[in-house]
Amino acid sequence: MRMNEKLKKFIKNEPLFSVAEAEKNGIQRSLLAYYCKKGEIEKLGRGLYKVAGKELDIPIQWEDLLYAYKKVPNSTVCLLSALAIYNMTDEFTKKHWLAIDHSRYAAKKQGIKIIRLRNTKLGKTSMNLGKYKISIFDRERTVIDAFRFLSVEVAIKAIQAYFKSGMRPDYHKLSDYAQKLHVDIAPYVLTLTT
């Protein structure tokens, strides 16, 4: 029996997908279950699938992060996960940090730390992990959030890495985010820039 044409077209563009993405494209869960039994798609975990035998075009160190990101629709990579992507931390975390809007609820998922935030648009940008586009907070928002949610030690290391990264620091953006999110980073910036 040939694979349902709608599913075939969908997985051609999305070899890694969530149940929510499949349903949004008119593909029922029962169809996913059927093709899993046939071995044409693989279930990677609760609500996450990929085309059987298809290698994902993504650096191996970010594969688990991408899986986590796909499991939480409309999320944004944040805090320790964003710091790791930007090479601004040496912290190791067993969980992938994702932000969602404070008005949303997301069930606890193994290996994922969900942070509910009021302002999820401030500093939100996107980047590619392989061929997959993810939402992530920019470097400046990530530094400010480190002071809000992580230890002072981690936050100081993050801001030091931000200024030493070789990329030109955006003082205006950093200051604007700090003001909007009620974080006083002036002493740290002053120490690092004088």
Residue ranges covered by each domain of the chain: 5-51, 60-193
Q: Who's near 31: CB < 8 A, 6+ residues apart?
A: 4, 7
| Mean pLDDT of the residues in the chain | 90
Binned at pLDDT 50, 70 and 90, residue 123 comes out as very high
Asked whether the beta carbons of 146 and 155 are under 8 A apart, the reply is: yes
pTM comes to 0.86
Section 96-117 average pLDDT: 92
Asked whether the beta carbons of 49 and 32 are under 8 A apart, the reply is: yes
Asked whether the beta carbons of 83 and 43 are under 8 A apart, the reply is: no
The pLDDT, as a whole number, for residue 140 is: 97
Q: Which residue has the higher pLDDT, 191 or 77?
A: 77
How far from 4 is each of 15, 23, 38, 41, CA to CA, in Å?
15, 14, 13, 12
